[in-house]
Copies of this chain bind each other. A is one copy, B any other.
Amino acid sequence: MRSGSLNEELLESEELFNGRFLHAFRDKVVLPDGSLTVREYFVHPGAVMVIPILQDDGERCMVVLERQFRYPVGKVIVEFPAGKLDRGEAAFDCARRELKEETGYAAQQWARAGIIHPAVAYSTETIEVWFARGLVLGSRCLDDGEFLEVFSATSDELFQWCSDGTITDGKTMAGVLWLQNVNRGAWALNWQNNLIDEVG
């Protein structure tokens, strides 16, 4: 049933534009029935999201969140720390870097949860999701032009905010699905210590 017959094949690719951030293409593709269409999308370098756990009491925990003005949606959005991969950067290195830069925290234990495709219709973006715990606060160091507030919340607040519309960010809601099931013991994480020097 997971049919290869759904596949589409590239015929010809045209660059639409290459901006400071957005890099867009329009491809001519062959559909499963042999007819042609175009697909417009953009190439994203990939990203990570970190679910930083401050305190853990079994079914409940406290997490680190951010508030950031997101220009395309014109609002302050509540989200887990996240950021784009630098060129050639491994996802785990990016996770550690973004957590430190944006929140000031370093983590003693890390666990990779999985990946999210946030916008499969028009973006190549893949977000790798990491859990972090054993947090030690240092100083943060935001990128130029980056303004955000860091705060903490209980998992109960987080669930409430996903249900009442306070949280609408898709990647964060997917992360909350992970968090809820990890907290309940339904989904397992493979926590690892001191990955700092082992993962390049």
- Interface residues, chain A, with chain B CB atoms under 8 Å away: 1-3, 5-8, 16-17, 19-22, 24, 26-27, 29, 31-33, 35, 37-42, 67-73, 76-77, 79, 114-127, 145, 147-149, 151, 159, 162-163, 165, 168-171, 173-174, 176-178, 180-181, 186-187
Q: Bound complex: CA of A64 vs CA of B77, how far in Å?
A: 31
Copies of this protein in the complex: 2
Taking the closest CB of chain B, its distance from the CB of A69, in whole angstroms, is 4
The answer on a CB contact under 8 Å between B73 and A124 is: yes
The interface residues of chain B lying within 8 Å CB-to-CB of A171 are: 170
The answer on a CB contact under 8 Å between A151 and B73 is: no
The answer on a CB contact under 8 Å between A22 and B19 is: no
Q: Bound complex: CA of A73 vs CA of B77, how far in Å?
A: 26
